Amino acid sequence: MLEIFLASIALIFVIRAISAILKEFRRPENFPPGPNWFLPFVGSSRYFKKLCQLFGGQHKAFDYLAKKYNSPIFSIKLGRELVVVVTTHELIKEVHAREEFDGRPDNFFIRLRTMGTRLGITSSDGRNWHEQRSFVLRQLRNVGFGKTKMEEQIHAELNEILDIIKSKKDIPIWPGESSLISTTGASSTAITIDLALMSMLLYPEIQKKIHKEIDEVLGENSEMPRYIDRNRMPYTEAVLLEVQRFYSIISVSGPRRTMKATTLGGYDLPKYTTILIGLGTVHKDEDYWKDPQIFRPERFLDENNSICNTERLLPFGAGRRKCLGDQLARAALFTFFVGILKEFSLEKCENALPSKDLTPGLMMSPKPYKAYFRKRKI
């Protein structure tokens, strides 16, 4: 009797193991198009790695696959993970809006970064994430996030930055280097400020217009710029929006995972499919922007010189999982940028212009460059 019992358990175990292995080979039914995989547990990982090396970064490999499969939604199997990439504004809007896409994948790398716990707000999902997100939001409100306290902190940091620049008197510096702009808490903010300053070397005529606007609006006022000043400085604001669109430092956002089996763009997605959001592709969509490869801040200004056209600019994502630091990042970006340009003019160093090609990574970042920060005579 015992033998029969043990044999049945063993049989069930074997059947389950075989069906799990078979599942690894099989493409789910009505799944978005994408490269086939022949190896279980590896999927198309090697092929994808080769594409990344060939094209210079994940986002470029994704652009290639989107074109190859001629589809705004496509799939790839990375290791055991079924990954679906969405690249159009319509589909991305849907992912941001629908609750079943609010999950975060539970994979080796996330666990590695969280000591096996997967507990941080950025990497958790379900009830745990809901509780953490509302807790963090409450705490941020209590410490004056988005209010004067935040502004005071930004001003203190701006003062430090200006002192460092002054101390380097006529020695060319790279803003991304050393501790110049690393105090904002998130490297994404520092990288964006670095790119905004770099753009002043690439487009001196834009720098002139910003200086003109700063002088007209802030004049001889010796006080620090305030975030609220952006309402009177539409050109500067438009330049900062264009920096975020043009460089799209978080080109592929998410990752998210489906919390239940669902559908998207006419395809079926099993529960726990990883979803990657191609923000960079939306920011460079030719049909919408017409000339996305050109750095042109005016695209964000209407005939009354007011900010417009921002609904497809999503550097911070959108929906319930939108970046929690977006207010701080926007305020720091504006205040630091205007604060530095109010006092200094950026000049290129020995005729060498910075490269517009960014270094790929979790976040795209500028290649090292140097600039002279010349004190302005106002």
Residue 226 makes contact with ligand HEM by CB under 6 A: no
> Would you say 290 or 322 has its CB closer to ligand HEM?
322
> Would you say 197 or 217 has its CB closer to ligand HEM?
197
Give CA–CA dist 63/313, Å, rounded. Answer: 18
Q: How many chain residues are in contact with ligand HEM, going by CB under 6 A? A: 21
Instruction: Cis check for the bond before 255: say yes or no (omega within 30 of 0).
Output: yes
Strands of the sheet containing 274-277, edge to edge, are 73-78, 81-86, 274-277, 253-257
Q: How far is the CB of 42 from ligand HEM (least distance, A)?
A: 27
Give CA–CA dist 86/252, Å, rounded. Answer: 10
> Would you say 71 or 248 has its CB closer to ligand HEM?
248
| CB-based closest residue to ligand HEM | 325
Residue 65 makes contact with ligand HEM by CB under 6 A: no
Q: How far is the CB of 13 from ligand HEM (least distance, A)?
A: 38
Asked if 138 and 130 count as a contact pair (C-beta separation under 8 A), the reply is no
Which among 334, 143, 151, 329 is positioned nearest to 239, based on CA atoms? 334
Residue 185 makes contact with ligand HEM by CB under 6 A: yes
Candidates 51-59, 74-82, 234-242, 311-319 — which segment interacts with ligand HEM by CB under 6 A?
Answer: 311-319
Residues 104-133 within binding reach of ligand HEM (CB under 6 A): 121-122, 133
Give CA–CA dist 44/34, Å, rounded. Answer: 10
Asked if 365 and 359 count as a contact pair (C-beta separation under 8 A), the reply is yes
Phi, psi of 349 (to 5 degrees): -105, 125
| Member of 189, 236, 258, 274 binding ligand HEM (CB under 6 A) | 189
Name residues whose C-beta falls within 8 Å of residue 299's C-beta, 6 or more positions apart in sequence. Answer: 238, 242, 289, 309
Give CA–CA dist 39/35, Å, rounded. Answer: 12
- Contact string 325-344 vs ligand HEM (x = CB under 6 A): x--xx---------------
Q: How far is the CB of 248 from ligand HEM (least distance, A)?
A: 9
Residue 244 tokens, joined: 């975020």
Q: How far is the CB of 253 from ligand HEM (least distance, A)?
A: 4
Residue 315 makes contact with ligand HEM by CB under 6 A: yes
Residue 188 makes contact with ligand HEM by CB under 6 A: yes
Q: Reduce the DSSP state of residue 250 to 3 states and report it.
A: coil
Residue 281 makes contact with ligand HEM by CB under 6 A: no
Give CA–CA dist 132/137, Å, rounded. Answer: 8
- Contact string 231-250 vs ligand HEM (x = CB under 6 A): -------------------x
Q: How far is the CB of 95 from ligand HEM (least distance, A)?
A: 8
What letter represents residue 117's amino acid?
Answer: T
CA distances from 139 to 99, 176, 203, 323, 332 (A): 24, 30, 41, 16, 20
What residue ranges bind ligand HEM (CB under 6 A)? 121-122, 133, 185-186, 188-189, 192, 250, 253-254, 315-317, 321-325, 328-329
